[in-house]
Amino acid sequence: MTALNLLAFDLGASSGRAMLGKFDGTRIQIQPVHTFPNGPVALAGHYYWDTLRLFSEIRDGIAAGYRETEGSLQGIGIDTWGVDFGLLDVDGELLGNPYYYRDERTSGMFEKAFKRMPKDQIFGWTGLAFQPFNTLYQLLAMKLQKPHLLEQAATLLFMPDLLEYFLTGEKATEYTDATTSQLTDPRTRSWSPEIRQAMEFPGQLFTLIQEPGTVRGKLLPGLSAELKTDRIPVIAVASHDTASAVVAVPIEGDDTAYLSSGTWSLLGVETDDPVLSRSVLEWNLTNEGGFGGKYLLLRNVMGLWIVQECKRVWDGESAAVGFDELVELGRKSKPFTALIDPDDSLFYGRGDMPRQIEEYCSRTGQQVPRTQGEMVRTIYESLALRYRWTVEKLESVTGKKIRTLFIMGGGVRNVLLNQFTANALNRPVIGGYAEATALGNLLVQAQALGELAGLSDIRQVARESFPTTTYEPAESQAWDDAYQRFLKLLASSPA
């Protein structure tokens, strides 16, 4: 095998990183070479992504990676969150900044979409869970509220594809990211003409779908000259960040679930075929695209967004407190003061999250957490219980027992939440790689360049390269009792 220097751009909802991977054929070492903030920009009542600034940061990251490797960089890949997109006109120019997925313009779009096609039929064609931020509802809102934009648009590109277009001039759509849109058919692994026609979306918007691991193109000549680099290949990796992270999970059988723990918690199992049963629809599970022909049957749980929003409010009210300190305050607080459903719509948008938690607890007749520690512990315990609910539903729809949960992503560093998760599930939890998304990105690049044969080789490199930590369950009776309280809470106030 040939030693490779590869560059992964991993863009999340709050930050972005350029991660350099040095692959020797057996193991890979990862180091950051450029980091930068990300976040929505508020303007005239809407939220947008500052796309041109993100592209500028990517340019800086490429230059930094090229310097770090002394001019030896063999590949570039980009992964981001799903669903959001940019529109290009006939000349290939960007028609405004892409909207942020939590922007409220999609409010009420479920009802308008279901008038065009009933909910169960939308699910039947797409297999996707119903989330207000799905591309389907963003496009429908645009069609109804700003039709002139769609009339001017010639091409729709999701965020990673848009940034790769800026790098290469090539227009295409990577499969895993496309599957977050509720516009694709999991059986054909292509766009659903039934959805497009029912919603009356222009057909020319949608480009060729490419499987992850496709070489998209090379850096444009002018760009490589400006950056003083070679024309480095740009590879369409598993560009939805969840799919990229799951690539690096060392799954050896069908009894392991994965949890991508971050702003969102994506908890699911890998399957060979989409699961389109009535229960999947009722429990709002989803079938997203994976690498190597796999499917990701999972649920979107609100995740650490709730803590992040609490911290944002608290930091504005007093001296900033770090996340590690908040975890420690939670550890020292009384257990099970109150429980929340993390997926309640009350916690979806930006706002005064601590007050919203107080409102929820008061409305459901519970003791209201007052201190930062009590509130953080309430969130973590509730997340762990929602994970248990999700694991049970996954077992029900697949008919397979889940014996282990593998956690990856930034939440790997949250030892308290990981232990709570093991306790709630009453089964071992393995804390994996904080940089799993970048790792999956890099290893798919290596596969695309011919240095790895496929998914099994990729996962072997992941095993060899990074250690894991196992959390054994404890306090099972207390968590069983709390779970019964949680189920009653869901029954009285379903999300």
211 and 257 Cβ atoms separated by less than 8 Å: no
Residue 254: per-residue pLDDT: 81
How, if at all, do strands 184-185 and 469-471 pair? unpaired
| pLDDT surpassing 90 at residue 55 | yes
Arithmetic mean of pLDDT, 412-431: 96
- Please state whether the predicted TM-score (pTM) of the whole model is above 0.85: yes
φ, ψ of residue 95 in degrees (nearest 5): -95, 75
Give the pLDDT band (50/70/90) at residue 14.
Answer: confident
Mean pLDDT over the full length of the chain: 95
Out of 3.30.420.40, 3.10.20.30, 3.40.47.10, 3.10.580.10, the CATH code matching 249-432+453-495 is 3.30.420.40
Residue 318: per-residue pLDDT: 84
φ, ψ of residue 427 in degrees (nearest 5): -155, 160
- As a whole-number percent, the residues of the chain with pLDDT over 90 amount to 93
| pLDDT surpassing 70 at residue 494 | no
54 and 76 Cβ atoms separated by less than 8 Å: no
CATH, range 4-240? 3.30.420.40
- Lowest model confidence (mean pLDDT) among 278-287, 347-356, 479-488: 347-356
469 and 421 Cβ atoms separated by less than 8 Å: no
| pLDDT surpassing 80 at residue 208 | yes
74 and 4 Cβ atoms separated by less than 8 Å: yes
Arithmetic mean of pLDDT, 346-373: 93
Exposure string over 313-343, b if 16+ CB within 10 A, otherwise e: ebeeeeeeeeeeebbebbeebeebbbbbbbb
Residue 337 CB partners (closer than 8 Å, separation 6+): 367, 369, 374, 377, 378
| pLDDT surpassing 70 at residue 368 | yes
Q: Residue 85: in which H helix or E strand, if any? A: strand 85-88
35 and 64 Cβ atoms separated by less than 8 Å: no
- The interaxial angle of helices 476-492 and 415-425, nearest 10 deg, is 80
Q: How far apart are CA 433 and CA 439, in angstroms?
A: 8
331 and 310 Cβ atoms separated by less than 8 Å: no
| pLDDT surpassing 50 at residue 275 | yes
Q: What positions carry a catalytic annotation?
A: 241
> Quick one: which of 175, 46, 204, 182 has its CA closest to 116?
182
Domain residue ranges of the chain, discontinuous segments joined by +: 4-240, 249-432+453-495
Question: pLDDT digits over 294-347, tens only?
Answer: 999 999 999 999 999 999 999 999 878 899 999 999 999 999 999 999 999 899
Residue 1: per-residue pLDDT: 56
Q: Which residue has the tokens 């930091």?
A: 315
**How many CB atoms neighbour CB 386 within 10 A?**
25
Question: pLDDT digits over 22-38, tens only?
Answer: 999 999 999 999 999 99
| 422 DSSP 8-state letter | H
Give the pLDDT band (50/70/90) at residue 198.
Answer: very high
Burial class (CB in 10 A: 0-12, 13-18, 19+), 432: buried
Arithmetic mean of pLDDT, 222-248: 97
Q: How far apart are CA 286 and CA 68, in angstroms?
A: 40
Question: pLDDT digits over 276-293, tens only?
Answer: 999 999 999 999 999 999
Arithmetic mean of pLDDT, 448-462: 95
> Quick one: which of 128, 125, 292 has its CA closest to 211?
292
| pLDDT surpassing 70 at residue 416 | yes
Question: pLDDT digits over 133-178, tens only?
Answer: 999 999 999 999 999 999 999 999 999 999 999 999 999 999 999 9
Arithmetic mean of pLDDT, 59-81: 97
| pLDDT surpassing 90 at residue 465 | yes
Q: How far apart are CA 62 and CA 78, in angstroms?
A: 11
> Quick one: which of 249, 276, 273 has its CA closest to 261?
249
> Quick one: which of 121, 126, 217 has its CA closest to 169?
217
Give the pLDDT band (50/70/90) at residue 495.
Answer: very low
Can you give the length of the chain in residues? 495
